[in-house]
Structure 1
Amino acid sequence: YEPSEDALQVEVDTKTIPHTEFLTYVFTDLSSTGATVALDWAKKQIPFKIEFDVSAIVLADIRQKLQGEAGFQRQNWEQAATFAMNNGGDLQEALGWINNAIEGQFFSSKTFNNMAVKAQILQKLGQKDKVLAMVPEMAGMANTNEMNNLGYMLVNMGENDLALKYFKINAKNNPANANVFDSLGEAYKIMGDRKNAIKNLKKSLSLNPPAGVKANSERLLAELGVVI
């Protein structure tokens, strides 16, 4: 036996298990970056953990693919930026990728969704002023659900007054939409305006909301001490 010829050496704590006739490999503790591999044979189990830097592997693959045919499609730049933003990638690189999706390339097209991704990246970079400068343009291109998302984005930024402005616009433009009144009521609740929160949450319930919206309105009203 020559230890220098080993392909792998791992220190493990063996476990006693019920008899296993055939050599068996079992994968447990599965995660997005690794797993525990257990070698079961006879009455012994030999477990060891394997891990990979999945984000680095995926980002390297993304960079390579964007240099080829995949780089001619806007959606691929959006997906690349989103992955980098959410998985510990270089935020400046992610910003460059989303900017390519938005403008400057023959495939570029500015949409609410890619503007929202850019806004999230800028927030992570601590550039709140640039995000706020984007808000009017984002509002101008937003549909009903996107306007709601814009409002919640502003709430998460601590811009409650500005968020309320867009929630109110959405409710005014969609008087039969239960979800927009649910969101408006939630915004008022966050701001401590109990009266208007109750008013708009009850309005949401009066519009025959979908189950999820109904449950949220009822939960918020209960938190405000209102018995339905």
Structure 2
Amino acid sequence: MKKSLLLVALMMASFVMQAQVRTPAASPAGSVTATVGLTDIKISYFRPSAKGRTIFSNNATTLVPYGKIWRTGANGGTKISFSEDVKVEGIAVPKGEYILLSWPGEKEWTLALNKNVEMGGDMKKYDAAQDVANFKVKPGKLANKIETLTFNVGDIAADNKSAKVELAWENTSVKFTVAADFDAAVIASIDATTKAEKVAPYDYFQAAVYYLETGRDLKQALAWVNKAAEGMNNPFWVLHQKAKIEKGLGDKKAALATATASLEAAKVAENRDYQMMNETLIKSLK
């Protein structure tokens, strides 16, 4: 009898340990990642929803009152990390992970990146001395309501050196700029790679294009792109960049011949993008 009761008790205990009620989180976890230049940006946060409530206002009873410190999310707050040193709204920020804090306002927001990520959502632990950046930005109005707090990394610059981090909730949008200067790292990589005992043709190509796009030594760029073209059997995309380098050097005759060869190769490959780019380049050389 005792053995039977013990067996039943063990079975019930096992069932209790295995059974687990799961329901959707009120503020589910979210994350967004992006690469700007050579820098990885990651934002990890918990996403509250409006659920019919007023989110931002002067009313002290609203969900996020103006002028009060906010963890910029729910639960443990919002964390943002950078894989390399960056500038946030012009302020130098070392690579690492930070908690994003904010003081919302109708016409101006104050935001801070704080080193004490362990504070989580407990704003009583906030110490301004731990801020690595503290800055002000102007909020914008969204045409369409955003029900759930959403972060995004967008507006990446054409030169890939900056982007905008955006917080969007209700009808409010708040953006701040993150700038990532990668030039020194790229030049160091080019120097090390092109001086190696064995260099891949594509590495020569990348080095040549970077020198072209940043206005560096075009004679060196031409030497590299020639090695790339030889090593890859003159593909149309390499020839196109070579023609642009030759144009930059003032050798229109050579540039025209190279661009024409690139155009013909692009036609064979049925690559309309490079056909159009070469046609435009050829017109500029006549």
Higher RCO structure (Cα 8 Å, ≥6 apart):
2
Structure with the higher fraction of residues in helix conformation: 1
If the length of structure 1 is used for normalisation, what is the TM-score?
0.47
For the pair shown, the structure with the greater C-alpha radius of gyration is 2
Higher strand share: 2
